[in-house]
Amino acid sequence: MISAPYLEVAVLVLGTVILLIESFFSKFDRRYLGYAALVGLALIFLATFFIAPQSTMSSAPFWNFYSADATSLFFKRIALATTAGVIVMMFDFAALVSSGVQGATPQSGLGEFFALPLFTCAGLMWMASAIDFVLIFVSLELVTISFYVLVGFTRRNPASLEAAVKYLVLSAVATGFLVYGITWIFGATGETNLQKIATVLSGTGLEQNAALFGGVLVIIALGFKIAAVPFHIWVADVYQGAPTPVTAYLSVGSKAAGFIVLLRVLDPFLILPQMQTLLVAIAVLTLIYGNLAALPQTNVKRLLAYSSIAHAGYLLVAVVSFSGRAVAFYLVAYLLMTLLSFAVLILVSQPAGDQLESFAGLSQRSPFLAFAMLVAMASLAGVPFTAGFLGKFLVFDAAIATHHFGLVVVAIVTVGAGFYYYFKVVRAIYWDAPPASTDKIIVSPLTRVALIALIAGTFVLGVYPQPIFDALAR
Amino acid sequence: MNPTTFFIFTTLLKIVGIVFVVILPMVSYAVYAERKVSALIQDRLGPNRVGPAGLFQPIADAMKFLLKEDFTPAHVNKFYYWLAPCLAMVPAITTIAVVPFGSTLFGVPMVIADINVGVLFVFAIASLGVYGIVIGGWASNSKYPFLGGVRSTSQMISYELSLGLAVIPIFLLIGNLRLTEVVQYQIDHGWMIVPFAGDWRNPLAWLLAIPMWISFAVFAIAVFAETNRLPFDLPEAETELVGGYHTEYSSMKFALFFLGEYAAMITGSAIIVTLFLGGWHFPGIPDGSHGWIFGLINIFVFFAKIVVLLFIFIWVRFTLPRFRYDQLMRLGWVFFFEIALVNIFCVAAILAFHAPPFPKHGLQADESDHGIPGGKMGPAVA
Amino acid sequence: MLRDYLPVLLQIIVAVGFAASALIVSVLLGKAGRRTPIKDSPYECGMVPIGEAQPRFSVRFYLIAMLFILFDLEIVFMYPWAVVYRDMIHGHPVVFWSMLSFVSMLMIGYVYALRKGVLDWRN
């Protein structure tokens, strides 16, 4: 049995070891570092199944900050799996990392490119366990700061730089909101621990408005992380400009972590009815904006960015209904289909770019990739027997159970819009004629395995979601 | 006279005494000494026309600075151009406020401000000195000052790390940041560079001497770098940067830069003396409570130690060649930084892993002393 | 507490006052000469100034500044630790090991930065 905090420590050690190997040895294939990261992450993922239950652990002050319950373990696994998926994508992206940098070899910068996601991963894992605002803040910073670097990693690409600057500035503003909100909450309740805040808030004779104000500020900051409208302005440009694996990571990892923090933070605050109203409003806006803005997109990366906003809307519906189970399942489904679509996007876009035209006739160039993209799009749209459908079903079910009928109506209408733009991609793949001079796309064995696993996952969870529920209910 | 009035009165007296009677003349004569000693080293005569053996030369210099044209070139950024010389000088003079320069005189403690964060105050204020240089270099709007300013900033912040790390062993040992306590500890248990004094049979105390010497060496050399003295005078390397950051300055503004540099030298020596060389203490000389004459002697001892250090400053300047910039950075960032860090853990280990704890200064047992004025060293009239 | 800092304030006032009065006296006493275009130009060893007055400089200065902020904070962390160290160390070796682990984590970053050539001024 392993004590839970060692998981993050292991990830960090893995990251630093890779970084040091990168800096001390110069003459070896940097891709081995990526393989090492993958193996390490797999081992740590396995280790999450042998975690000692929290009750047997000591009552040191550390556990006021850190929780090792089933939910946090579940989200740790999501973080680990996402990171592994992102690193697999990075192998395909490796050629582009240092293109355009003067005097760069094909290998330069790769070591850091593989190491940084590990630090992000450690941050995400801490975030999953954080039950105190201090740890939430620190882990959020670890995640965001590594993302600053990752987003601007292809530093000779102006789009990437623009994305990095935008992300840096807006993220710093969001962090400011978070810290300011935390101080207000601390001022009103005298606590940073979420459980204690809940106790204080449910008591009487409290300056509720101050706490509520702080809570709203925190929600604004988290709204930025999960890309909810109206805090979504950065999303399209940053997603489009960042290196594609990083975009995938941003849309899955950052979102998952944002949602678990949101769940934990809202736990004490949902007692206050105003909070509920605010969240419903944000959810409706996010649903409508994300789906409508995705309609006219012709750049697939941008389309996925807006679809990521839309999915944040569905997740917010689950949050408002306060169904942790629906959030968790939806996030897993979202992870599978998003990683799948971005992995295909990297392979397809490398010669031709991110535009929708480069997908034209993909079914003839690589039937396997075409099928993978079809599955991803179907799942994102919510076609039955895919994980995406079941995720949406659980969300709507939870919303109806808590009598949010208006929200469900909006959500179902926007799903219709979703079908339209996701099938634009499918139409390009299967109906449009390929450009004249194209050749087959080669898929490396590692990527092929990963893609098959993701496709299989999408279908299996679409009909048999029980493993997820079991993991949550431990 | 009520205690508060008395306190303010004595404080003002001490400030005026230290700044105008001791520091400023010392600065002037440090310049004179520098010229004389360099002449001695280089087998020249040095200044010898104004007064006997050129003794009035500093006064003549001061008059000249005052009477020269006060010129502000058109291309500079006026406000910051005027601000920079003040910024270069004020921190150097302010720092001396927390250094105990004597025991007591007529029952009044010979320290201007006996604050509980003494050393932090020293680092906080002394590091402001870099602003004077960087703003001066930037506001001059000219190439040489700009390059000098950039180099200087980089050098000063680099050596600030070693400076900060080198004193940590002392505070591990003493457990207090108050500089009067540091001196008191050295009176009771021997100067920092001879921690075995008074505890001759304890091998651990002898072992402790090694890291203390390392600390002393790192700190002293870092002070050289902080004050931009040779062999670390790259910010104003004449042969490549003309005058460095003060190329565009003249008259009194230039004099203030100069004054700031020498005042920083004196303050730096004062800190070295206080932290490592026993402050105003000298074996066999009692403190001021035994009569005012001893109080005066204590003050004299303190400044005599500073004068010795100043002589070493000058001696080094005319003996060693200048570093190359990469060597300078490598020395600060690699050698000093690492050795100072390792040193801290050596001291911590010596203090931790050996059974009989060193005698700790008695005052520490009294928790209430932290930060309360008028403790042991407080004004006697209270 | 505040009374401790009153002398510091006085000292600062005296220092600033001295600097200001020295400048003012010099302005009043100093002889004012004629302004000529040559006198107003930046000093470049007698040559006509060329190029920007504030040229681009090596990016390593920025790196040094960033590293400084990191490690200066580390040092500030060490001060309170050093002050309470002797009171707490006996019977609590964790006081030693926690600071050692904190510093060694930072040292990994330091070693990485050195290996990546932050202090390599040649190229």
Chain B environment of C14 (Cβ under 8 Å): 15-16, 19, 93
Least confident stretch, A96-110, A324-338, A428-442, B11-25: A96-110
Neighbouring residues of B157: CB distance < 8 A, sequence distance ≥ 6: B127, B130, C64, C65, C68, C72
Q: Are the beta carbons of A193 and A131 closer than 8 angstroms?
A: yes
Those residues whose C-beta lies under 8 Å from the C-beta of residue C101, and which sit 6 or more positions away, are none
Average pLDDT score over residue span A393-402: 90
The answer to whether residue C86 sits within a structural domain is yes
| pLDDT at residue number A56 | 53
Asked if B280 and B100 touch (Cβ cutoff 8 Å), the reply is yes
Q: For A235-293, what is each residue's pLDDT tens digit?
A: 888 998 888 899 999 888 888 888 888 888 887 777 677 788 888 899 999 999 989 89
Is the CB of C53 inside 8 Å of chain B's CB atoms?
Answer: yes
For B276-300, write each residue's pLDDT tens digit.
888 888 887 787 778 888 888 888 8
Q: Which domain holds residue B150?
A: 73-357
The average pLDDT across A160-174 equals 90
Instruction: Name the percent of chain A in helix, strand, coil, to the closest 5.
Output: 80, 0, 20
User: What does the pLDDT average to over C14-26?
Assistant: 87
Band of pLDDT at residue B375, cut at 50, 70 and 90? very low
Residue with tokens 């005599």: B304
pLDDT computed for residue A66 by the predictor: 85
- A105 touching chain C per CB within 8 A: no
Residue pLDDT, tens place only, A56-91: 555 667 777 888 888 888 889 889 999 999 999 888
- The pLDDT, as a whole number, for residue B360 is 52
Cα–Cα distance between A350 and A220 in angstroms, integer?
A: 36
Query: Is the CB of residue C66 less than 8 Å away from at least one CB of chain B?
Result: no
- Whole-angstrom Cα distance, residue B211 to residue A228? 57
- What percentage of chain B reaches a pLDDT higher than 90? 7
C1 has pLDDT over 70: no
Say whether B215 sits in a helix, a strand or coil: helix
What pLDDT sits at residue A308? 92
pLDDT at residue B349 in the model: 86
Residue B40 lies in a domain: no
Q: Does C47 touch chain B (CB under 8 A)?
A: no
**For residue C1, is it within any domain?**
no
Q: Residue B21 pLDDT more than 70? A: yes
Of A103, A147, A107, the C-alpha closest to A124 is: A147
- Whose CA is closest to A14, among A35, A46, A36? A36
Note which residues in 203-222 of chain B have CB less than 8 A from chain C.
none
Chain A touched by C116 (CB under 8 Å): yes
Considering the domain boundaries, does residue C4 fall inside one?
Answer: no
pLDDT (mean) for A185-202: 84
Give the closest residue to A414 by CA, choosing from A321, A295, A296: A295
Alpha carbons A168 and A149: distance in angstroms, whole number: 9
In the prediction, which pLDDT does A180 show?
93
> Does the pLDDT of residue B238 top 90, yes or no?
no
Nearest C-alpha in C relative to A108: C116
Which has the closest alpha carbon to C120: A109, B161, B326?
Answer: B326
**Residue C11 forms part of a structural domain:** no
pLDDT of residue A80: 92
Contact call for B160 and C68, based on CB within 8 A: yes
| Nearest-5° Cα angle at A17, A11 to A22 | 130
**Per-residue pLDDT reduced to its tens digit, B143-163:** 888 888 888 888 888 888 888
The angle that helices C2-29 and B251-276 make with each other, rounded to 10 degrees, is 150
Residue C69 belongs to domain spanning: 54-123
Q: Within 13 Å and on the Cβ side, how many CA atoms surround B180?
A: 24
Q: What is the pLDDT of residue A121?
A: 93
Tell me if B93 and C18 make a contact (CB, 8 A cut-off).
yes
Cβ of A19 within 8 Å of Cβ of C112? The answer is yes
Kindly provide the ipTM of the predicted complex, given to two decimals.
Answer: 0.86
pLDDT of A40 reads 93
Q: What does the pLDDT look like over B26-39, one tens digit per residue?
A: 888 888 888 888 88
Question: Which pairs with CB-CB distance under 8 Å and at least 24 residues apart come from A20-26?
Answer: A20/C108, A20/C111, A20/C112, A20/C115, A21/A111, A22/A111, A22/A112, A22/A115, A23/A111, A23/C111, A23/C112, A23/C115, A23/C116, A24/C115
pLDDT of residue B381: 36
C90 belongs to a structural domain? yes
Q: Is the pLDDT reported for residue B377 higher than 50?
A: no
Percent of chain C with pLDDT over 90: 1
If you count residue pairs, one on A and one on C, with CB atoms under 8 Å apart, how many are there?
Answer: 12
Token code pair at residue B236: 């104003």
Q: What is the mean pLDDT of chain A?
A: 86
pLDDT at B365: 41
Q: Is A19 on the interface with C (CB under 8 A)?
A: yes
What element of type H or E holds C39? helix C37-40
Q: Is B7 contained in some domain?
A: no
In this predicted structure, what is the pLDDT of residue B382? Answer: 33
With contact defined as 3+ CB pairs under 8 Å, the chains touching A are C
> Residue range A423-438: average pLDDT?
81
Residue B228 lies in a domain: yes
Residue B380 pLDDT > 60: no
Q: Which residue has the tokens 């003996």?
A: B319
How far is it, in rounded angstroms, from Cα B257 to Cα B268?
16
Q: Report yes or no: B156 and B226 within 8 Å, Cβ to Cβ.
A: yes
Residue C46 has pLDDT above 90, yes or no: no
The band of A100, judged by pLDDT with boundaries at 50, 70 and 90, is low
**Number of domains chain B contains:** 1
| C101 domain-assigned | yes
Among A182-191, A376-385, A463-472, C83-92, which stretch is predicted with the lowest mean pLDDT?
C83-92
User: What interhelical angle do A324-352 and A70-97 show, nearest 10?
Assistant: 10
Look-up of token digits 């911590």: B348
Nearest to C68 among B73, B158, B344 (CB): B158
Burial label for A88, CB within 10 Å (0-12, 13-18, 19+), is: buried
Closest CA–CA distance from residue A20 to any residue of chain C (Å): 6
- Residue B13 inside a domain? The answer is no
CB contact at 8 A, B260 and B131: no
Spatial distance between the Cα atoms of B117 and C5, rounded to a whole number of angstroms = 11
| Structure-model confidence comparison of residues B273 and B202, the more confident one | B273
Q: Are the CB atoms for A459 and A386 separated by under 8 Å? A: yes
In a domain, B88, yes or no: yes
Residue A205's contacts (CB-CB under 8 Å, 6 or more residues apart) are none
Checking if the pLDDT of B244 tops 80, the result is: no
- Number of domains chain C contains: 1
Q: What is the pLDDT of residues A401-421, one digit of tens each?
A: 988 888 899 998 999 888 888
- According to the model, what pLDDT value does residue A330 have? 92
Residue A298, chain C, CB below 8 Å: the answer is no
**pLDDT band with cut points at 50, 70 and 90 for residue A5:** confident
What is the pLDDT at residue C123?
A: 62
Give CA separation, A98 vs A13, A30, A32, A409, in Å: 26, 13, 17, 47
- Check residue B366 and give its pLDDT: 41
Least confident of B288-292, C24-28, C102-106: B288-292
The mean pLDDT value for A136-153 works out to: 90
pLDDT tens digits for range B38-61: 888 888 888 888 888 888 888 888
Mean of per-residue pLDDT scores for chain B: 81
Interchain contact C108–A (C-beta under 8 A): yes
Cβ neighbors of A47 (< 8 A, separation 6 or more) are: A2, A6, A7, A10
In 3D space, the residue among C24, C40, C12 whose CA is nearest the CA of residue B251 turns out to be C24
Q: What's the CA gap between B216 and B126, in Å, rounded?
A: 18
